């Protein structure tokens, strides 16, 4: 650091940039290594368990239950049962090649929602060999029509 006096009482000051560049280099290297450039999105789902109702009082009204069954090779089935008045709807969504036909599935869910305005949640069942990316795709499309999605944890 060089400090000079020009004779008027003020001081010339020369900033030594080399140590500052050293600090910056280390900081930037650390931040580059620790930075995460992946942009993560989140899908909120619930876990639904299928279990016995116990010995409590039995209500005459069967609650509405809407289920999306994902089968192997992209085929899907949408089933709606129960509710008041009771419904029993079953729609098959054929596969699009080996993958799910998402546009048709969304259209069918939309029609179902128009018919059942009280529909707010849906359970998703999948076959054992359905891959996670297909499940995520299905959940993403369902959320466009029905806000609450549950992943089933039992057998149908």
In angstroms, the Cα distances linking 33 to 4, 39, 122 are: 41, 16, 42
The site map against another protein for 112-131 (x = CB under 8 A) is: --------------xxxxxx
Q: Which of residues 58-117 bind another protein (CB under 8 A)?
A: 70
Could you say whether residue 1 binds another protein (CB under 8 A)? no
Candidate list 1, 40, 58, 60; residue touching another protein; CB under 8 A: 40
Question: Tokens representing 151?
Answer: 């992943």
Structural contact between residues 46 and 149, judged by C-beta atoms closer than 8 angstroms: yes
In angstroms, the Cα distances linking 139 to 17, 46, 67, 88, 147 are: 55, 11, 12, 23, 10
Q: Which span (3-11, 21-29, 57-65, 106-114) binds another protein, by CB under 8 A?
A: 21-29
Counted residue by residue, the chain has a size of 156
Q: Residues interacting with another protein, by CB under 8 A?
A: 17-18, 20-21, 24-25, 27-28, 31-32, 34-36, 38-47, 49, 70, 126-133, 135-137, 139-140, 151, 153, 155
């Amino acid at each position: 650091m060089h400090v000079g006096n020009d004779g008027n009482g003020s001081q010339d000051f020369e900033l030594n940039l080399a140590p500052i560049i050293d600090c910056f280099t280390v900081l930037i290297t650390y931040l580059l290594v620790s930075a995460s450039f992946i942009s993560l999105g989140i899908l909120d789902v619930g876990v639904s368990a299928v279990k016995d109702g116990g010995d409590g009082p039995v209500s005459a009204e069967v609650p509405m239950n809407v289920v999306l069954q994902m089968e192997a090779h992209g085929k899907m089935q949408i089933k709606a049962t129960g509710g008041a008045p009771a419904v029993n709807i079953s729609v098959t969504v054929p596969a699009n090649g080996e993958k799910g036909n998402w546009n048709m599935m969304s259209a069918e869910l939309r029609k179902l929602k128009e018919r059942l305005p009280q529909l707010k949640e849906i359970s998703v069942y999948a076959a054992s060999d359905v891959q996670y990316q297909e499940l995520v795709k299905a959940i993403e499309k369902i959320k466009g029509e029905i806000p609450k999605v549950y992943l089933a944890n039992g057998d149908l």
